[in-house]
Chains A and B, each alone.
Chain A
Amino acid sequence: MTTHAQASAVPQRPLVRLNNVYKTFHAGTVNEVRPMRGINLEIAEGSFVIVLGGNGSGKSTLLNALAGSFPIDSGRIELDGQDVSRWPEYRRACLIGRVFQNPFSGTAPNMSILDNFSLAAKRGKFRGLGWAHSRHLQDELRDRVRELKMGLEDRLDSAIGSLSGGQRQALTLLMATWLKPRLLLLDEHTAALDPKSADQVIALTDRIIAREGLTTLMVTHSMQQAINLGDRIVMMHSGNVLHDFNSEQKQRLRVDDLLSRFENVRRRELLDESAAEMLKSRYI
């Protein structure tokens, strides 16, 4: 599959910059979790970053923070040269396209395919009293949906909820990139699919990203995807970036290397936990 050209030799401002970002959920309660502990991360324009990490390491939280799903506690998030730290989610949508893990999250199930795309065609734009289904949109949609080869081009008026998970994720991906986003966020978008549909959606993902040259963050649990796709790997652990492999390092990586890194992390985690247990039993 494609690997993407690195940013040119001229040092340029990164498209995404997280500066010492903190987030704590349920602060001060027994449920306190700290999925972002001073995260620093820069992403160059045009790069395709794979985000790895164990369950609860803060991968989704990172993507949600970028998208603006919740306000961060401290730090700074820059997107495309602007400080977006205080922007609400809907405002950031003009820069960001998203596909969620759950196929139900990315589409309005009771509305038609055409309705859904008419919303995508206005991502981050003013929505007024213009007709949602323009002739132009319908024609273009039919062409682009035909490219998916899922036989959906004749079903543009059926409710999107009646489609399979794979079909929905493919459409959500098309929706997220209908207007070229500055940043594409993919959060385990094939995790809920059967292997065949997952492969289809991954192929489509790679094709779209390569064609449009999209800056992308993609969370996955699949080592195979991590090796095959993208030009950089960021490995997260307990609210921080643990490893960061650039394009060259990534090319030398094998699945086994990644797995052993994971194993190390897991061992360290167990150690942490047993130490905590010991302290607890001693002092509480």
Chain B
Amino acid sequence: MTLLIGALTLGVILALLALGVYISYRIFDIADITVDGSLTFGAAVTGVLLVKYGVHPLWATSAGFIAGMMAGTVSGVLQTRFHINALLSGILVMTALYSVNLHVMGRSNIPFLGVATLSTYCETMAVQVFGGPETQLWGWTVSSADLTMLLLMLTLVGAIATGLWAFFRTDLGTAMRASGDNPQMVKALGGNVENYRIFGLALSNGLVGLAGALWAQYQNFADVQMGIGMVVWGLASVIIGEALTGATGVGIAIAGAIIGSVLFRQLVAIALSFGLNPNDLKLITAVFVFAALVLPGMMKHVSLRKAQGAA
């Protein structure tokens, strides 16, 4: 049960990553590798503020979001003002961020020992809410701190997802969605496509930075490596979500990305408990995304062949 709650919590936290990737991948149709850097950047900034400066976790976490937004803004500016290919912009920013993150952290790993974080807040809150360090859930004994953390993350991600859904139904949000769909039309209707993209990438990477900030506090350390390959992780979540929901509208797609993230983390946890070597995780994720990208096309091809054969 503890394992399940842990996997759930991480899945919910990384749903923010999935939402960020949804924005860049589905709305703007780019694979934005900035994500790998901005996840760590969010974690690093939050970590340093918590450990070195003793900033309140709420502010430190918000700073993680802003850090991610800054990274996304740089990527967006490279793409629009300097006309650098989206993939290359992402690679440049991600690479630059690796050094930046090392500078921010001062070393490659910061443990959050003995400082106030969202986790420690959850521990104190849990005792107040559940009246003790352990509580009963459907007959299972679980740590009330873990449960509180999960509930807190669910609330937070739920609120953010709702806000995102609402945003994409405003005039600005609709224009942003359209600028990924048909930029020429948006320009003809007076939309500043370049600014929409910069803002979209800022928002996307802001969510990813926030995911990094929360993840670091959940696992109690920030590490310069933690972002590596996370864009693929986000893609996997988005793709699973789409497969499950058959996403057409934005609302369903947002819900799908969250469900996809939780489910994917769950699958990974199960695989690990069955003895999957953690070193193989990224390989398997990559193969999974590859299959998800290629299989639908191949199936269509095969069924077309069959149809032609039958005709």
Q: Which residues of A contact B (CB under 8 A)?
A: 67, 69, 88-91, 93-94, 96, 98, 100, 104-111, 115-116, 118-120, 122-125, 127-133, 175-176
**Is A91 in contact with B190, judged by CB distance below 8 angstroms?**
yes
Q: How far is B294's CA from A9's CA once the two chains are assembled, in angstroms? A: 67
Q: How far is B190's CA from A98's CA once the two chains are assembled, in angstroms? A: 11
Query: How close is A206's CB to chain B, nearest CB, in angstroms?
Result: 22
**Is A124 in contact with B190, judged by CB distance below 8 angstroms?**
yes
CB closest chain-B residue, reference A107: B185
Ranked nearest first, the 5 interchain pairs of A and B with the lowest CB-CB distance are: A93-B190, A124-B190, A108-B181, A127-B171, A132-B174
- The interface residues of chain A lying within 8 Å CB-to-CB of B184 are 100, 105
Given A128-B170, A130-B170, A131-B169, A89 and B188 touching (CB < 8 A)?
A: yes
Judged by a CB distance under 8 angstroms, whether B178 is at the interface is yes
Main secondary structure of the interface of B (DSSP, over half): helix
CB closest chain-A residue, reference B181: A108
Given A90-B187, A93-B187, A120-B189, A105 and B182 touching (CB < 8 A)?
A: yes
- The interface residues of chain B lying within 8 Å CB-to-CB of A175 are 189
Which residues 129-174 in B have Cβ within 8 Å of A in the complex? 167, 169-174
- The interface residues of chain A lying within 8 Å CB-to-CB of B188 are 67, 89, 93, 96, 98, 100, 106, 176
Which of A88, A91, A119, A176 has most chain B Cβ within 10 Å?
A119
CB closest chain-A residue, reference B195: A90
**Is A132 in contact with B181, judged by CB distance below 8 angstroms?**
no
Judged by a CB distance under 8 angstroms, whether B265 is at the interface is no
**Is A108 in contact with B182, judged by CB distance below 8 angstroms?**
yes
CB closest chain-B residue, reference A89: B187
Judged by a CB distance under 8 angstroms, whether B191 is at the interface is yes
Judged by a CB distance under 8 angstroms, whether B118 is at the interface is no
30 A-B pairs (CB sep. < 8 Å): A89-B187, A89-B188, A90-B191, A90-B192, A93-B189, A93-B191, A96-B188, A104-B182, A105-B184, A108-B177, A108-B186, A110-B181, A111-B181, A118-B171, A118-B174, A119-B185, A119-B186, A119-B189, A120-B189, A122-B171, A122-B189, A123-B189, A124-B190, A127-B175, A127-B191, A130-B171, A131-B170, A131-B171, A132-B170, A132-B171
Given A107-B185, A119-B175, A129 and B190 touching (CB < 8 A)?
A: no
Q: How far is B192's CA from A122's CA once the two chains are assembled, in angstroms? A: 13
B177 interface neighbour in A96, A107, A111, Cβ under 8 Å: A111
Q: How far is B184's CA from A190's CA once the two chains are assembled, in angstroms? A: 19
CB closest chain-B residue, reference A127: B171
Which of A106, A108, A115, A130 has most chain B Cβ within 10 Å?
A108
CB closest chain-A residue, reference B26: A110
- The interface residues of chain A lying within 8 Å CB-to-CB of B174 are 111, 115, 118-119, 132
Given A67-B188, A93-B189, A94-B190, A127 and B182 touching (CB < 8 A)?
A: no
**Is A108 in contact with B178, judged by CB distance below 8 angstroms?**
yes
Q: How far is B191's CA from A108's CA once the two chains are assembled, in angstroms? A: 13
Query: How close is A86's CB to chain B, nearest CB, in angstroms?
Result: 16
Judged by a CB distance under 8 angstroms, whether B202 is at the interface is no
Judged by a CB distance under 8 angstroms, whether B262 is at the interface is no
Query: How close is A156's CB to chain B, nearest CB, in angstroms?
Result: 14
